[in-house]
Amino acid sequence: MSNIKIAVGSDHGGLEYKEKILEFLKNKGYETIDEGTYSKESCDYPEFARKVANLVAEKKADRGILICGSGIGMSIAANKVKGIRAALCSETTSARLSREHNNSNILCLGQRLIGETMAFEIVETWLNTEFAGGRHQHRIDIIE
């Protein structure tokens, strides 16, 4: 059981994983916010990236997860919001390092590029890894 709140969003290309990840998070006891999309109809990923990124930047959510076809558009768009450190991950080592070294606050996934098992392992790794701080904080301060 965790008390952190996670905002989740996708476009049509990430809808299936969004639904599955939301269910997975709820089953683990996380509080979630579903920012859409809610149908398979074609839509624009930057809209959903902005909604989730704003929630995280404004501290209305602790972290965010964004899914599109490749994860690339979501990561580009989310990183435009000040205070967001969105990491596009396709394996668990990157997910771990994005937390330990970069204190990533948004995870981006590409539904069309990674299998479901890997997606869930990435999510679990990313949620369960803490920021290491120290010299890494100084580098994040430089970005800010």
> Any catalytic annotation for residue 101?
yes
Residue 126 · residue 91 · CB < 8 Å = no
Residue 9 interacting with ligand RB5 (CB under 6 A):
no
DSSP string of 42-98, one letter each residue: ---HHHHHHHHHHHHHTTSSSEEEEEESSSHHHHHHHTTSTT--EEE-SSHHHHHHH
**Is 43 one of the annotated active-site residues of the chain?**
no
Active-site residue, selected from the candidate residues 43, 68, 89, 108: 68
Burial pattern 54-88, b for ≥16 Cβ within 10 A else e, equals: bbbbeeebbbbbbbbbbbebbbebbbebeebbbbb
Shortest approach of ligand RB5 to residue 111 CB, angstroms? 8
> Cβ 40 to ligand RB5, closest distance in Å?
12
Q: What whole-number distance in Å separates Cα of residue 94 and Cα of residue 98?
A: 6
* 13 counts as binding ligand RB5 under rule CB under 6 A: yes
> What are the structure tokens assigned to 19, written together?
């639904």
Binds ligand RB5 (CB under 6 A): choice among 7, 22, 56, 73: 73
Closest contact distance (angstroms) between CB of 72 and ligand RB5 is 4
- Can residue 65 be called a binding residue for ligand RB5 (CB under 6 A)? no
In the bound state, the residue with its beta carbon closest to ligand RB5 is 73
Residue type, 113: L
Any contact of residue 11 with ligand RB5 (CB under 6 A)?
yes
Q: Which of 21, 25, 53, 68 binds ligand RB5 (CB under 6 A)?
A: 68
Which residues would be at the binding site for ligand RB5 (CB under 6 A)?
Answer: 11, 13, 45, 68-70, 72-73
